[in-house]
Amino acid sequence: MIQTDSRYWFVIVPAAPRIHHDPERCPVFKSGYDDHRHRISTPSADLSYVEIGAGPPALFVHGVGTSAYLWADVVTALADTRRCIAVDLPVHGQSPARPDQQMSVGSFADVLAEFCETLELGKVDLVANDTGGAVAQVFAARHPEHIRSFTLTNCDAHDNVPPEAFLPTVELARAGQIVAAAPDLIADLPAARQAVFAMGFENPEYLSIEMVQAYLEPVLGTPERAEKFQALIASFEPNDLLSVEPALQRLDAPTLIVWGTADEFFDLKWAYWLRDTIPGAHDVVEVAGAKLFWPQERPQDLVRPLRKFWAAA
């Protein structure tokens, strides 16, 4: 049995009987968020997404180990001003990975491009968090014609892939150990919440057990899913971001950076690096005390600056 420091993204917890939960207890499910869910196939992926609202399209991209549920309160609040689309990336949420699915930041950026083209979205207001921010940067750099505006929250930047605090998990993935850890994590969801998500939330208990299950079952619930998820984590390295940096330095779309100041993965310095790198970026909004997944935990801290930014852009 592998043991890792509990500060890191996951540990292996003792096996326990499967806990059954009622999804109706979770506010996201009770809100009818999934009533707005759709599915679409692109040349390289089968994708599920939630679409709420009307107006210019805004595309929301989550990071590793979460899903479109991350954005539920944000997109619901902004549906009066945008056609808000929150996509599940492959092997996350309700987007299964194909047997030949390519698992990397760069391949997911290509999936986003196909998604926009298949839905004929034209230009989008692109919003991203965590690994989704790296995917979004590659997508925006390769396809600036799709970007009306760009908003990045705490995410990978430059050569900070993987961030130091996540490196032990990447090393476990490269050693093939995430597949081995998956059954124990799924078997004890309260322990998994602490092991997997404690570093990303100011208050880990904010994340209901039902939401922990909704995040982890798609990526770890079967050996096949866990193998795909393991391959994604093992692929994390800076080359995809570094290769598009010259194009990112020419991206003149209006860009907003909103950053939690207490993130143990993505230091505040990266917010200012992005501001100074992307020509369309002028502002950094600091969210005091917020950790990585603050768009879910503190949605109004994103809704307010986004409304102001979109109105000006």
Query: Do the Cβ atoms of 84 and 60 come closer than 8 Å?
Result: yes
Query: Do the Cβ atoms of 45 and 87 come closer than 8 Å?
Result: no
**56 within domain boundaries:** yes
d(CA 33, CA 52) in angstroms, rounded, equals 9
Q: Which residues contact 159 (CB under 8 A, 6 or more apart)?
A: 238, 241, 242
Domain hosting residue 112, numbered range: 23-312
**155 within domain boundaries:** yes
Averaged pLDDT of the chain: 92
**195 within domain boundaries:** yes
Whole-number CA gyration radius for the chain: 18
Q: Which residues contact 251 (CB under 8 A, 6 or more apart)?
A: 140, 141, 144, 147, 150, 278, 279, 280
Q: Which residues contact 167 (CB under 8 A, 6 or more apart)?
A: none
Residue 106 predicted with pLDDT over 50? yes
Residue 268 predicted with pLDDT over 70? yes
Comparing 16-30, 56-70, 158-172, 202-216, the range with the smallest average pLDDT is 16-30
For the stretch 107-138, pLDDT in tens is 999 999 999 999 999 999 999 999 999 999 99
**157 within domain boundaries:** yes
**9 within domain boundaries:** no
d(CA 118, CA 89) in angstroms, rounded, equals 15
The pairing of beta strand 255-260 with beta strand 281-287: parallel
For the stretch 38-54, pLDDT in tens is 999 999 999 999 999 99
**6 within domain boundaries:** no
What CATH number should be reported for the domain holding residue 72? 3.40.50.1820
**2 within domain boundaries:** no
Beta strands in 212-301 (DSSP E): 255-260, 281-287
**8 within domain boundaries:** no
Please tell me the total count of domains within the chain. Answer: 1
Residue 8 predicted with pLDDT over 90? no
- pLDDT > 90: percent of the chain: 89
